[in-house]
């Protein structure tokens, strides 16, 4: 693959950088796993290089995808789980729509009691099993948290999970609900959107 030198100062082509970032946020892989996968294709980079790519470009790619995503559902649900960061429990809030697409996430040390008091008209349901779909939305990030051997800081958790949700939205296609041809067509559109977001002219 020719090095088009699109990203100033990077000797690897943007296709490789973009692919490494996609692997990290799409699958439950460590930086070392991605180093090995790239090495199997003759691309020799260190896991630290992969880490730097993910930290530098992940948020920028996902910001472009957020700006161009279609309208989300008109019904929103908020769910919380606990995550432990350096031995301290934090709240991970995740808002999803009725289709299970993630709208936003927030990691914080304390519950925002004042915010709940400002929206007393919002329905708070405690019915058994009613929020199963939204609790399931936490599973991918839980798997990645285990792979990463816990988050190291609140900022790291916020940065990673916000990107993880965007990529999960883009590629969570509900394959079992559609015919193979339709699935491939929508999947191809997802890759086109990812590639569009990773072009240098969209990173300015």
Q: What are the residue boundaries of the structural domains of the chain, listed by start?
A: 14-68+177-202, 76-159
Neighbours of 176 (CB within 10 A): 6
What lies within 8 Å, CB to CB, of 194 at 6+ separation is: 18, 22, 61, 65, 167, 170
Query: In sequence order, which ranges of 69-150 are alpha helices (DSSP H)?
Result: 113-118, 132-136, 139-147
Closest alpha carbon to 74 in 101, 40, 111:
101
Q: What is the pLDDT along the chain (204 residues), one digit of tens a residue?
A: 444 445 777 888 889 999 999 999 988 888 999 999 999 999 999 999 999 999 989 989 998 998 887 666 667 777 777 888 888 888 888 888 777 778 888 888 876 655 465 455 556 555 555 555 555 555 666 666 666 667 778 888 888 888 888 888 888 877 677 888 888 998 999 999 999 998 744 444
């Amino acid at each position: 693959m020719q090095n088009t030198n699109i990203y100033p100062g990077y000797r690897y082509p943007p296709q490789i950088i973009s692919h490494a970032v996609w692997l990290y946020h799409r699958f439950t892989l460590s930086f070392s796993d991605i180093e090995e996968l790239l090495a199997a294709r003759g691309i020799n980079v260190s896991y630290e290089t992969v880490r730097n790519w993910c930290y530098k470009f992940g948020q920028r790619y996902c910001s472009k995808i957020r700006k161009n995503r279609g309208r989300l559902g008109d019904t929103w649900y908020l769910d919380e789980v606990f995550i432990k960061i350096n031995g301290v429990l934090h709240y991970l809030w995740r808002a999803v729509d009725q289709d299970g697409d993630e709208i936003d996430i927030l990691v914080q040390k304390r519950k925002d009691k004042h915010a709940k008091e400002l929206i007393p008209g919002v329905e708070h349901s405690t019915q058994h099993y009613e929020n199963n779909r939204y609790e399931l939305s936490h599973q991918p990030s839980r798997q990645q948290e285990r792979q990463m051997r816990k988050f190291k800081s609140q900022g790291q958790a916020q940065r990673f999970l916000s990107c993880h949700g965007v990529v999960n939205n883009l590629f969570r296609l509900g394959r079992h609900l559609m015919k193979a041809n339709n699935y491939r067509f929508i999947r191809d559109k997802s890759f086109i959107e990812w590639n569009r977001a990773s072009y240098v002219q969209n990173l300015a």
